[in-house]
Structure 1
């Protein structure tokens, strides 16, 4: 039986799980207090802390670490890649440590996987479907000026896992379907999946598409320019307006979508208007991606934490039901998605790729 350790480092947590075949035998979330993390200059400097805690918990739980032969970490900000499972190699580690496309907690995923694999005879380290997964059609890269280019940064791991799960449920191959997948969480990304490739998707990190619980999404460019040169705000303040302090945070003072939903049900008119605007913008994005797929859509999939909201599902059905059938897969399970990718490699169903950027 193939044994897998999946690792998903977040900004203030380290999540990991152990799978014996398809069965999850251990799942843990270690929370890192902010004051603990502030001791470190960079995210990479947190490596020893997180590595030590993972190994400590595995030993406490009686997991025989040497029996685990596949270790897979959430993919970080490497150079853009096609989707798939990649072997962790020295070049990947070097790029993640340097932060060639930025520093993010996910950069630690492959580094942690590599370290643990090196301690186990015969073990292998991988990453899968990183956030920089890039399968855009060339026409989708044009932004409107040669100094700018549209970039593919989105929730690739969960979008791909949800699309594959849906294909399995309807007894089809993911590679044979045209799907629109909307990941609806703290960030929102809507992708056009054509025969197994995401040929267009919004940059969910810093400035495209619908606003979300904590991101502003697409903003009126002229107004942004005026704000930048108003002398009232610094670069980091404006960046926080876009990522972290936009969306629900800016309008309603919270990034908790469940709290917003509760306010709506209690008759809060402002919360209702803001939530409705988010629904509206998501529906518009789905319509855009239907155009990308020339109207040939086999299904619209809603996933992520916001997909638990029945009012959202009802709204998308009302606005987009004419495009294709709508299927809801609420929540996300990135640890399971990582483990299943590793198992596909272990079983010979998928060949791992080499990172050679």
Structure 2
């Protein structure tokens, strides 16, 4: 393939001028630009875009770390990321980890090698101590409600939102309230559990282990809650569920068990996915797609040394009342 010296000779300009044209330098006359482009065409010259990008410390790629693409919560974050990335001519690379820290480390190592312009963690298992080891290699954005100040975060205030959901159920006459979480150890789940325990103490309700349902993410998990509910001796009258998929599964199982919703068990969920509208599930809406968009904006601002993005971005939530409460 032709090199820039050959282009310069054919165009009748200096090598420096060719270099400036290739790198979009503003101080080159239109006449010389045209001559260089014509020479490039005649010599069938193709730029090694990737090499140029790496030499500048950019890749035009953003890594997205998530446990699974199958869950609507994570797929909608990716939808927001993709929409914003396209606007800025960025590509995204997905790292599906199933919460395996070794796979999260693979993404971080690519950031260290300048093969990514930044990483968005939709959810994570890896520790802050490990993340700190990679902080200097590029922006790392966390879609979680954490209190640390080292990394930018984008999330609703989960403790406040869970408390709001509990208070809504209480306002409807419920005090015997169960709840479900995706996982105990997650940052957002920790906030939710704290809100639940504080509210139960506030209304003088004991904390019953049998009213807590862990590892609940899918429709199948919701169906299992329904079956477990039937075996609980002292039954709750309401349940606050961590996402709409679980709530949908619970409603499907309730129908099989001839359990009346909300008369026997009121169900309040989170996210406001399309399935919640289809099944008339009362839910607390999270602006998930906007979360993804803002994560990309945060990376771009960080790469451009822009201070317009706060370290902690708190998004609003709202109640969507339907027929399950």
Give your verdict on TM over 0.5.
Answer: no
TM-score by length of 2: 0.34
TM-score by length of 1: 0.32
Q: Which has the larger strand fraction?
A: 1
Q: Which has the larger helix fraction?
A: 2
Which protein shows a greater Rg?
Answer: 2
